């Protein structure tokens, strides 16, 4: 399901933000989708370093620990 959402929004030039650990297989797989080029967000500090973005699509790792963002 996430793959379809991500592909749809990426094709409409949204920046894809994935809340979770980029080393987790689920997040790593989503980041690796062709033509997506998403950004993994693991902490509030990561958010502070994002450039200004006009169009974003945010999804979250389904097995995410409470300790993240």
SS3 57: strand
Assess if residue 18 is contained within a domain: yes
Phi-psi region of 56 (alpha: psi -120 to 50; beta: other; left: phi over 0): beta
Q: What pTM does this model have?
A: 0.78
Give the count of domains, the chain: 1
Containing structural domain, residue 32:
2-49+56-60
Assess if residue 8 is contained within a domain: yes
pLDDT of residue 31: 76
Q: What is the pLDDT of residues 11-44, one digit of tens each?
A: 899 999 988 888 887 777 777 775 667 888 988 8
Q: What is the pLDDT of residues 41-62, one digit of tens each?
A: 988 899 999 999 999 999 887 7
pLDDT of residue 56: 93
**C-alpha to C-alpha distance for 33 and 48, rounded to whole angstroms:** 25
Q: Which residues are catalytic?
A: 26
Assess if residue 65 is contained within a domain: no
Assess if residue 20 is contained within a domain: yes
Assess if residue 69 is contained within a domain: no
Which helix (H) or strand (E) segment holds residue 16: the answer is: strand 15-19
Domain CATH code at residue 20: 3.40.1010.20
């Amino acid at each position: 399901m996430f793959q379809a959402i991500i592909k749809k929004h990426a094709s409409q030039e949204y920046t894809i933000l994935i809340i979770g650990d980029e080393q987790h297989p689920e997040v790593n797989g989503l980041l690796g989708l062709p033509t997506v080029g998403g950004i993994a967000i693991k902490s509030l500090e990561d958010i502070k370093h994002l450039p200004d973005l006009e169009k974003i699509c945010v999804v979250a790792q389904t097995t995410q620990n409470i300790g993240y963002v």
